[in-house]
Amino acid sequence: MSTIKVQNTHISAQLPKLHRALIDIVRMMNAPERDDAMLAGAGLSLERALFPLLVSVERLGPIGVVELAAGVGRDYTTVSRQIARLEALGLVTRKASVRDGRVKEAVITPSGKTATDAIDRARETMAVRLFQDWSTRDFEELVRLMRMLADGMGDKAGDA
């Protein structure tokens, strides 16, 4: 007797296509050339490895190194060294956590915010080119479904 529910067969049938699309998206988003183009568009000369950390600190900060490392899928000792480089560049600073004074959290500086604003403008330029031929309805549906996917993955992190 099959354990697959009849109403879920559509999920099983389409899952390989979804998985392949997600792999392709992650691969393209992680392509060094994409980061190089975005950094160039932002007018920044920043090590590629530091770029996602800077953006994450701006979006999620104040944030501890362990939490940041988990979010970007890197070892915390590596992230700690990279945050120290961002700090030396004046893009982030580290301050004691309000919740736990023993923990140092990375916080964006005004210079760091200026850099992430430039990255946002470069990202928007790239996105406008990518989506310029999409209908408003299709783009809005993509945004809605991506949010639903991200929220669902967060709610059911241990299930997948």
**β-pair partners for 108:** 92
pLDDT for residue 125 is more than 70: yes
> Would residue 74 count as lying in a domain?
yes
Q: Which residues contact 139 (CB under 8 A, 6 or more apart)?
A: 131
Q: Cβ(126)–Cβ(40) under 8 Å?
A: no
The answer to whether position 19 is within a domain reads no
Q: Which residues contact 125 (CB under 8 A, 6 or more apart)?
A: 41
Domain span at 93: 28-155
Inside any domain, residue 5: no
Q: Is residue 146 part of a domain?
A: yes
- Residue 7 forms part of a structural domain: no
Residue 127, pLDDT score: 94
23 belongs to a structural domain? no
The pTM assigned to this predicted structure is 0.79
Q: Specify the number of domains making up the chain.
A: 1
Cβ distance 76 to 67 under 8 Å? no
Which amino acid is present at 20? R
| 59 belongs to a structural domain | yes
Element (H, E) at 95: strand 92-96
In the predicted model, is pLDDT for residue 134 greater than 60?
yes
Rounded Cα gap, residues 115 and 60, in angstroms: 16
Helix (H, G, I), strand (E, B) or coil at 104: strand
CATH number at residue 91: 1.10.10.10
- Answer yes or no: is pLDDT of 159 > 60: no
User: For residue 91, which of 127, 42, 125 has the smallest C-alpha distance?
Assistant: 42
**Is the per-residue pLDDT at 160 higher than 60?**
no
Q: What is the pLDDT of residues 76-102, one digit of tens each?
A: 999 999 999 999 999 999 998 888 877
